Amino acid sequence: MRPTRSWIGRFIALAALWGASFLFMRIGGHAFGALPTAGLRVCIATLFLMPILLGRGLGPQLAQHWRKVLFVGIFNSAIPFACFTYALLSISTGLSAILNASVPLFGALVAWLWLGDRPHRMRMLGLVIGFVGVSMLAWDKASFKPDASGLSSGWAVLACLLACVCYAIAASFTKRYLGGLPALVTAAGSQLGAALFLVLPALWFWPPQTPGAGAWMAVLALGVLCTGVAYILFFWLIENIGPARALTVTFVLPVFAVIYGLIFLGETVSLWMLLCATIIICGTALSADLIKLRRS
């Protein structure tokens, strides 16, 4: 294992970048719309990652598995990015990031139903605890009454949960059909697949007036930093500290998302949100075997 300071620095940088993605999605979404923002994000990420993949001589492997890799991009990037960007038009960055922390919960559930990876009792307890936290948060925040802009927090919360389910499906699909494939091939290829999937909807819903420079900078940072660079950091962590420990970044990024929302958007965080976040994180950590309960 690499020196502690080395991986911790990258771990914190990844959490900071993924936490910032919610801020940039909110800025881009209000300027471009949900689908154009998501489309720009994956197109920029593709342009960033593909030269790296080709430079490392991994093009033949992508060509060999292109159908499955491009398909993963639909569920691992295209749909989730569009869902979260849509959600951020009406809910806070902190709330959406907390809901995102439940991805491992849905991952464990999908792996159980699809791959037969039945969790033991403690992991099942973690699933129950985690989903109780998600339900508490969703019930409190979900209102289907349209606001002044015609949007509702209820649909936004459901969009976040749909994104989490898509991430879980993509993870099980990758494990079943793309095992052993270099992570960079999956990353770059999936972004290409997402770009192909979103390009026409993005153009169809393109805003009539071209957004300003600030919005363009937000989507550029979203594509290069929060997607391209973040993928490189994440795969480095997987290789050097293992997937289980790398997965815990999901629990840290809401902290950055909340801080960014407080500083740059003037958002507020309620005690109820913090309570639900604690329940979700504890349940998720238990369901992913990241914490153990001592048996008497």
**pLDDT tens per residue across span 192-237:** 999 999 999 999 999 999 899 999 999 999 999 999 999 888 877 8
Cα dihedral 208/160/13/239 (nearest 10) = -120
89 Cβ contact partners less than 8 Å away, ≥ 6 residues apart: 26, 29, 30, 34, 149, 151, 156
Using CA atoms, how far apart are residues 94 and 267, in angstroms rounded to an integer?
8
Instruction: Compute the distance between CA of residue 260 and CA of residue 19 in angstroms, rounded to an integer.
Output: 8
- Count how many Cα atoms sit within 13 Å of the Cα of residue 135 in the half-sphere of its side chain: 7
Contacts of 129 by beta carbon, 8 Å cutoff, 6+ apart = 279, 282, 283, 286, 287
Longest distance between any two alpha carbons in the chain, whole Å: 65
Lookup: tokens for 242 = 């293992």
Mean pLDDT, rounded, of the chain: 87
What is the structure's pLDDT at 20? 96
Please state, in angstroms and as integers, the Cα–Cα distance from residue 43 to each residue in 23, 73, 225, following that order.
19, 12, 13
Say which residue the tokens 């620095």 belong to.
Answer: 9
Q: What tokens were used for 22? A: 């919610």
Place of tokens 């060509």: 63
With bands split at pLDDT 50, 70 and 90, how would you rate the model's confidence at 1?
very low
Please determine, for residue 77, whether its predicted confidence score (pLDDT) is greater than 70.
yes
Tell me the torsion sign for CA atoms 208, 214, 216, 222: negative
Q: At what angle do helices 183-204 and 66-73 cross, to 10 degrees?
A: 60
- Interatomic CA distance for residues 199 and 113, integer angstroms: 32
> Which pLDDT tens digit goes with each residue over 89-104?
999 898 899 899 888 8
Per-residue confidence (pLDDT) for residue 105, from 0 to 100 = 82
Residue 169 has pLDDT above 70, yes or no: yes
Average pLDDT estimate for 276-288: 82
pTM above 0.75, yes or no: yes
pLDDT tens column, 37-76: 999 999 999 999 999 999 999 999 999 999 999 999 999 9
Confidence of residue 2 (pLDDT cuts 50, 70, 90): very low
